[in-house]
Amino acid sequence: MERTKQPKHKVFQQLVDNPYLIVRELNNRSFYCFVKYFWDEISEEPFQTNWHIKYLCKELQKVAENLGKGNKKLYDIIANVPPGSSKTSIVSILFPVWCWTRWIWMKFICLSYSATLSLESAETSRDIVRSDKFQTIYPEIKIKRDKDNKSNFRVESIETVHLGFAPRRRRGGNRLSTSVKGTVTGFHAHFILWDDPLNPQQAISVVELKGTNRWMDQTLSTRKVDKEKSVSIGIMQRLHENDTTAHLLKKKGKYIKHICIPGEILTKEYAEKVRPRKLVKKYKNGLMDPVRLSKGALKELEADLGQYGYAGQVGQSPTPPKGGMFKVENAPIIDQLPAEVNIVRKVRYWDKAGTKEQLDPNKNNSAYTCGTKIYLLKSGKWIIADVKRGRWEAVEREKVILSTAHADGKDVEVWYEQEPGSGGKESAQATTRMLAGFKAEAECPKGDKVYRADPYSVQWNDGNIMILRGDWNHEFIEEHRFFPFSKFKDQVDSAGAGFAKLTSKKRVKIY
């Protein structure tokens, strides 16, 4: 029996009697309106709109309404947006709740690289449903009492059909929250939402990259209620050339709508990354969001992330710099060191190599051992004070390291690279014993040389690193000029590692 349509005057009277029905109707028609209305339930900060939020909301609403009608899916979505752009709030927290207000039956699997982050988003979603504000607009939607925990909670609809009779309960969907490589066996969803499946540290590990992509392919992809209808929505900032975005686009790009929104398009490289291309017109003075990501905020992000990290996470272009990573003219050469009172800390970092220079000119490509001495000043700037560099056999190399430590003095911390494997460990332990009485320590560097040099290059290019005049200057500067395509990289690696020690709180012990 068809439902009789109410006369307009009765509908208007209902809206007058209960103005919350207007809010409900507006939220039903627009996910963006829902986001605005419930923003204060998830954040202490006032809602700050921007075009990228409206666009993401529109795209999410489109695939949800299509699924709600029982149609075959339009496409999966991958969205690349910068950190600090409210992506988690929109996709991982508010979107599932909005869907339940219209399609109570929808099931979600939500994940991140960390179970803690995934559970935090789940808790916030659950808190919205429980809130007085939500219950005023949607009094029939509840968290099912016997299925109420952060990792997997279920909703239900409780409706009063006739006064004096028990309410009608309608079984609703659920939200399973997990992490990459976490447990999803036995669960299926209408929507799979993945939010940052990798963090920056994992992205520099080939093992982590391959493991994450394999899990997405072989495990998560099988967890759909209906492969033809269920939708995957991924949102992340780019972290690596072979990260999850690149992997999935390469495999099935034509079935994915790729939304790519760099934080700024001040360079041609970043502008060419924008997807869909029509979104370029939305940028104001080259900025995606002049409030959240102003020029000042972007500058600070670049200093924190380094050029490589900034290019990926903000520019959505995670490719190693194509030369010119260091603007060599930005590092002034000085003729003398400042007074000791102006020096905060001193480090000499050794990038060790075990080969000896060959006399045959065709065999002189072996690596150098390099020890760079760098000072941190009270002004917040740094000075490259000295570089020792040569091709020495192991015994001779250790003698050079020891004699240099004596010449530098015991107020200079000595760090040195520990090569992988048992041989590298034994070599590092031998160096530590040799430097008894000095502040000395070995470390195992992580990530490739370009990644490690990133933060150092930002300060160099900002003019915060000075070079003490010496006969070693020319080769040192020229290696920086062509890095990462310079023939040798030992001086950049050594200086960058020393810089990293001066910007960390960890200090070496005296052995």
In order, the DSSP letters of 90-109 are: IIIIIHHHHHHHH-TT--EE
Q: How far apart are CA 341 and CA 335, in angstroms?
A: 18
**Do residue 379 and residue 234 come from a single domain?**
no
**Do residue 214 and residue 334 come from a single domain?**
no
Domain boundary among 236, 260, 284: 260
Q: Is residue 122 part of a domain?
A: yes
| pTM for the model | 0.72
Domain boundary among 260, 284, 312: 260
Asked if residue 366 lies in contact with residue 353, where contact means CB atoms within 8 angstroms, the answer is yes
- Give the residue among 349, 372, 108 at the shortest CA–CA distance from 231: 108
Asked if residue 381 lies in contact with residue 466, where contact means CB atoms within 8 angstroms, the answer is yes
Q: What is the CATH number of the domain that holds 430?
A: 3.30.420.280
**Do residue 39 and residue 165 come from a single domain?**
yes
Q: Which residue type sits at 333?
A: I
Q: Is residue 266 part of a domain?
A: no
Q: What is Dmax (Cα atoms) for the chain?
A: 100
Here the tokens at position 253 are 């790009």
**Do residue 58 and residue 178 come from a single domain?**
yes
**Do residue 165 and residue 21 come from a single domain?**
yes
Domain boundary among 230, 260, 290: 260
Q: Is residue 2 part of a domain?
A: no
393 Cα distance to chain centroid: 41
Classify the C-alpha dihedral 109-115-118-120 as positive or negative: positive
Q: How far apart are CA 110 and CA 150, in angstroms?
A: 12
Q: How far apart are CA 511 and CA 502, in angstroms?
A: 20
Q: Where do the DSSP E strands lie in 352-474?
A: 369-377, 382-390, 412-417, 440-443, 465-468
**Do residue 348 and residue 240 come from a single domain?**
no
**Do residue 227 and residue 135 come from a single domain?**
yes
pLDDT by 10-residue block (mean), the chain, 511 residues: 55 66 94 97 95 98 98 97 95 98 97 93 96 96 88 90 71 94 90 94 85 92 94 95 92 89 89 94 96 92 83 85 79 96 96 58 69 97 97 92 96 90 80 93 83 90 96 93 84 95 76 54
Question: What's the domain count of the chain?
Answer: 2
Q: Is residue 202 part of a domain?
A: yes
Q: Is residue 323 part of a domain?
A: no
The pairing of beta strand 440-443 with beta strand 412-417: parallel
Q: What is the CATH number of the domain that holds 91?
A: 3.40.50
Q: Is residue 254 part of a domain?
A: yes
Please tell me the predicted confidence (pLDDT) of residue 4: 52
Please tell me the predicted confidence (pLDDT) of residue 146: 85
Q: CA–CA distance from 340 to each of 225, 404, 504 (Å)?
A: 68, 19, 21
Q: How far apart are CA 242 and CA 175, in angstroms?
A: 29
Residue-number span of the structural domain to which 190 is assigned = 11-260
**Do residue 85 and residue 195 come from a single domain?**
yes
Q: Is residue 107 part of a domain?
A: yes
Neighbours of 394 (CB within 10 A): 15
**Do residue 208 and residue 88 come from a single domain?**
yes
Q: Is residue 269 part of a domain?
A: no
Q: How far apart are CA 308 and CA 314, in angstroms?
A: 10
Location of structure tokens 């079935």 = 255
Please tell me the predicted confidence (pLDDT) of residue 508: 65
**Do residue 194 and residue 78 come from a single domain?**
yes
Classify the C-alpha dihedral 415-416-417-418 as positive or negative: negative
